[in-house]
Amino acid sequence: MAYKFDPNVRYAKTHDWVRVDAERGLAVCGISDFAQHALSDVVYVELPDVGTEVSQGDVYTTVESVKAAEEVFAPVSGEIVAVNAALEDEPEALNSDPYGAWIIKVQPADLSQLDALMDAAAYEAFVAAEEAGGH
């Protein structure tokens, strides 16, 4: 299976990505192409409340596909300052455009947390290893 890997984001082992919006100093978060593929057709995203504090590794939302409800983990700590309300009407955007369809924007507590995350090449290798490991 050929997945898309965005060179402009950093990846967590939980298959979440984060991209820094340098102009506003915000961390934009979403799920990877591998994650949306594993989920299958997304039908609902339970958006969190703006103002919620999340810690790196916390569950901040649940994405519901045709067959399952999957938890989504914050790749970075901070306060949620925006949610992508467009996903309420068009949750399938997570399938069609996983790196464009962000879920939350976080005012990051410590951007150095991103250093411990993977770049696209490392994440591609991580996904390949996970796939080779079987189900």
Which residues 62-121 are close enough to bind another protein by CB under 8 A? 62, 64, 66-67, 69, 92, 95
Number of residues that bind another protein (CB under 8 A): 14
For residues 22 and 37, give the distance between their C-alpha atoms in angstroms, rounded to a whole number.
Answer: 29
CB of 135 to another protein, least distance (A): 9
Q: Measured in whole angstroms, how far is the alpha carbon of residue 47 from the centre of its chain?
A: 13
Single residue of 41, 58, 110, 119 touching another protein by CB under 8 A = 41
CB of 98 to another protein, least distance (A): 14
CA distances from 5 to 33, 54, 119 (A): 7, 25, 9
Phi, psi of 86, deg, nearest 5: -60, -25
Picking from 133, 134, 135, 123, the residue whose alpha carbon sits closest to that of residue 3 is: 123
CB of 21 to another protein, least distance (A): 28
Interface residues with another protein (CB under 8 A)?
1, 37, 40-41, 43-44, 46, 62, 64, 66-67, 69, 92, 95
